[in-house]
Amino acid sequence: MSNTNIKGFDTLQIHAGTQPDPTTGARQVPIYQTTAYVFKDADHAADLFALKEVGYIYSRLTNPTVSALADRICALEGGAGAVCCSSGHAAQIMALFPLMGPGKNIVASTRLYGGTVTQFNLTIKRFGWSCTFVDFDDTKAVAAAIDENTRAVFCESLANPGGYITDLAKISKITDKAGIPLIVDNTSATPYLCNPFEHGATLVVHSTTKYLTGNGTVTGGCVIDSGKFDWSQNDKFPSLSQPEPAYHGLNFHEALGAMAFTFHSIAIGLRDLGMTMNPQGAHYTLMGIETLSLRMDKHVANAMKIATWLENHKAVKEVTYAGLKSSPYKSRARKYMKKGAGALFTVKLKSGFEGCKKFVNALEIFSHVANLGDTRSLVIHSASTTHSQLTNKQKKAAGADPDVVRLSIGIEDADDLMADLDQALKASRKK
């Protein structure tokens, strides 16, 4: 983006990270469907590998289409650097990879997507890492869970499935005191509704599959670094603050400053883990982001109207939407998500688990899929699907009880959506 004075979100979501193709004049970002890139000469190749010069080497590391997407998301989040990868789950591992080592741990919120809980509770143990789950409303418990081997604290700004809003400012004070980074998954909120860096986050991760792409076509992930964390303030992050044996003994923080984390993620993370985003997928997401603010405004307006109506429906026991006056997180919504509390929430049915099954099966406009953030309205019974591998205690903590369904409100006509929900709710009560 040539005009560095552009600040408006609506302008950035269209122009950030891109410019007309210098050779053809193509205005939309081309899909650079190539594996490798020709070096100018032997010295050019050596300088690229030594990180003395920025450029393209091999598409497992960097690709112009993918780089344009990373730059655009970075601009929207207000970060220093970003790296895109193959999925949201890949982004979580990419975020942790430069920080962790055998015997090290993270502290994470109990209110997370079920797949993330499984990844942190079980899968990362294979790396010799571990995770302690804590209710982030209990800030004393969060602080107490951090020990000398803790290397990060992880939460979602707007938690899936229940739409819980994390008090980021309070959590960031705890991580600052401990000298460790706060990693925030901003997938459900998007940078349009919430900016975690403004409230002390160090790293932001996204499943770009969701609202950023917005059309249910491709999977992807992104890690954005604020560039403000001092990786050399203690000896906890040797991969960034000390000579890195995996890259010629380079001291990334000393050599690259605010871009240390991003370059480490590319030069070592993508190189060795290989969780690369494909350029066609990046192209779809770039096009999706161009309308992000427009879509999110409609998502939020629909969600507010529908949640208010559902709260008063005779078949409904509870609605968890943080935009409601009845929500215990209404004040947090005003503080952290001034443009609206998103479009993701759960509904507890009076008809219980069997009623939830009837409800899901009866819906006609809502699509029954394991996804969120689509232009289409989506529904799922989290307890038996996305959170099914969790214990009952973990499900309850995450807001995924058996009598609960999760709604992702799309951008269709709200009245049509309410009519569909109404007939399905009536079906849920039939014997």
Q: What number is the average pLDDT over the span 137-152?
A: 98
CA separation for the pair 49, 271 (Å, rounded): 12
**Cβ count within 10 A of residue 397:** 18
pLDDT confidence tier of residue 383, bands split at 50, 70 and 90: confident
Write the CA distances from 413 to 19, 281, 295, integer angstroms: 35, 28, 13
229 pLDDT exceeds 80?
yes
Residue of 240, 213, 244 whose CA lies nearest to 229: 240
Q: What pLDDT, in 10s, does the model give residues 336-371?
A: 999 999 999 999 999 999 999 999 999 999 999 999
The highest-level CATH class for domain 292-428 is alpha beta
Scan for tokens 């975690």, then name that residue: 196
CATH 3.60.20.10 fits 9-288, yes or no: no
Give the model's pLDDT for residue 21.
86
Domain ranges of the chain: 9-288, 292-428
pLDDT confidence tier of residue 430, bands split at 50, 70 and 90: confident
Scan for tokens 């690709």, then name that residue: 63
Give the model's pLDDT for residue 1.
39
Give the model's pLDDT for residue 4.
61
Mean pLDDT score of the chain, rounded to an integer?
Answer: 95
Q: What pLDDT, in 10s, does the model give residues 158-178?
A: 999 889 999 999 999 999 999
373 pLDDT exceeds 90?
yes
Give the model's pLDDT for residue 392.
84
Contacts of 70 (CB under 8 A, 6+ apart): 17, 81, 82, 83, 84, 222
2 pLDDT exceeds 60?
no
Q: What number is the average pLDDT over the span 3-24?
A: 86
Contacts of 270 (CB under 8 A, 6+ apart): 60, 61, 62, 83, 85, 94, 276
Amino acid at the residue 215: N
Q: What number is the average pLDDT over the span 19-33?
A: 91
134 pLDDT exceeds 60?
yes
Q: What number is the average pLDDT over the span 63-90?
A: 98
Contact 403, 317 (CB under 8 A): yes
CA separation for the pair 30, 287 (Å, rounded): 11
- Main-chain phi, psi angles of 134, to 5 degrees: -140, 145
Give the model's pLDDT for residue 84.
98
Tell me which of 61-75, 180-194, 282-296, 381-395 is least confident: 381-395
